[in-house]
Amino acid sequence: METLTTNNAAAIDMYRPALHYAARDTWLNDPNGLIFHDGVYHLYYQNNPLGNVWGNMSWGHATSTDLLTWTEHPVAIPCDDNEDIFSGSIVYDRTNTSGFGTGSVAPLVAIYTSAFKPGSEHEGIQAQSLAYSLDGGYTWTKHANNPVLSRRSANFRDPKVIRYDGGEGSYWVMVAVEAQDFKAMFYKSEDLKNWEFLDSFGPANATGGIWECPDLFPLPVDGDPDNVKWVLTVNLNPGGPNRGSAGQYFIGDFDGTSFTSTSTVTAGLNSTDNQGAYHWLDWGRDYYAAVSFNDAPDNRRLMIGWMNNWEYAKHIPTTPWRSPMSLAREVSLQTIDGNLCLVQRPAGDWTALVAQEPFSLAETTIDDGEQMLPGASGTVQRIDVSFTRGSAKEFGLVLRGDGAKGTRVGIRPDEGQLFVDRRKSGQTDFHESFPSLDTAPVRSTSGSYELSIFVDRCSVEVFAQDGQVTMTELIFPAENSTDLTVFATGGTATINSLQVMRLE
């Protein structure tokens, strides 16, 4: 089978990521159909196989065995004259409930949104359709009787399907959205072809933009298998905490029919005063349409998001490819200061990518101003740093700097804020909304602030306080902007420890 490797030297440019997946020479957006099957992670995604702007929506395809290195494959499910192939999910139909399997081969079944084109029998609507694969997810056949679920709606899309096993029995459950109504819609099926409406959820919390790309999954609380809560994620555009695209999540219970949230803010729907009370998947500008893998090993819940923002997505200065995916993240549900929240940590064995002896600092005082760290420069790095506040009003790091420019990642302890300032990060003038100073709430842990930062050729992903808060941002620095600097403003701060690993 022909494959296209993302490490092809001819395809590399100054912004092509080393740690994140990007298509070789085309546009991509939402991750779709994430599944672990026969030892392989499959990443499907919204793809324009004919160009590097949105259009001709089809499902692209990439695979990995370690979540760190990806191989691109030919388009999996192409659009045609009748339909565009919008977002969806994939399940392994182990017992062949669908009847698509043959002999001893159980099928993979993709459930996707058909966006019907002018001239189609279903022109103007979005409905849910099926395709199946009998070779492990590399080639797909569309179901002859598509669509299998229609509401005669123009904005009914993005089905995520799981297998539910509970007090009400065992069956397939779908959650999709009525995008403009801010509603998650739940259905059940015995065979993936015939669907029965169960219930709906929403509007709730952030409704500043349409709802898209939902997900539904159970997680043990603090690792206790006898205490399980359900998480419903919904992405919205616009309406994020720092403007533009973002994802939110709700924590609650699912009984096989209805989802009940225990984390809904009831005082003032989508009030800007409540933004900090909502549960955001990520506080940065560039983490959208995140969904999780079905059937990940060891019951891990692994998620990937699209690393871009619809405000400027088609304008980012990359060519011929456009848009990367985020790192894969393992999510867990933990009790923090008496409240439940998702904790996110980067997945994968990062030690395998370390290129040389790490740069390290032990306890060091940062004086008012900036101090460059000779020996810590680089373009692809993992940075782990612990700070303690002194008298400084803010402190942190300048990444991918050159003395005049750089991306500032830091803490403002009086405001309880983590911030990413990319106003001088490199190329910023390709769209008026790209230069930004973005913030997220953060509190010290025993007086310390812990950051794990993944720097790639066009991005920064920040995991604060062991993954309690995350911020993901695109950046487009000059190729020679490689310096790493520490800074403090209005006083001093202390680096408890710092380790910088160059990655390949």
Active site amino acids: 30
Angle at 54 between CA 51 and CA 60, to 5 degrees: 70
Q: What is the C-alpha separation between 31 and 301, in angstroms, rounded?
A: 15
CB 59 within 8 A of CB 47: yes
Comparing CA positions, the residue from 383, 307, 324, 320 lying closest to residue 350 is 383
The single residue listed with the structure tokens 């894969």 is 328
Q: What is the C-alpha separation between 44 and 59, in angstroms, rounded?
A: 6
**Three-state SS at 314:** helix
Comparing CA positions, the residue from 486, 454, 494 lying closest to residue 471 is 454
Q: In this structure, how many other beta carbons lie within 10 angstroms of the beta carbon of residue 169?
A: 10
Comparing CA positions, the residue from 318, 437, 455 lying closest to residue 385 is 455
Q: What is the C-alpha separation between 148 and 484, in angstroms, rounded?
A: 54
Residue 191 structure tokens: 């065979």
DSSP state letter for 299: G
Residue 297 structure tokens: 């090993």
DSSP state letter for 434: -
CB 152 within 8 A of CB 123: no
Q: What are phi and psi of 351, to 5 degrees?
A: -60, -25
Q: In this structure, how many other beta carbons lie within 10 angstroms of the beta carbon of residue 173?
A: 20
Report CA torsion sign: 267, 272, 275, 281. positive
SS3 for 157-205 is EEEEEEEEEECCEEEEEEEEEEHHHCEEEEEEECCCCCCEEEEEECCCC
Burial label for 118, CB within 10 Å (0-12, 13-18, 19+), is exposed
Q: What is the C-alpha separation between 187 and 451, in angstroms, rounded?
A: 41
The single residue listed with the structure tokens 């997680």 is 219
Q: What is the C-alpha separation between 310 and 312, in angstroms, rounded?
A: 5
Residue 19 is which amino acid?
A: L
Q: What is the C-alpha separation between 97 and 189, in angstroms, rounded?
A: 10
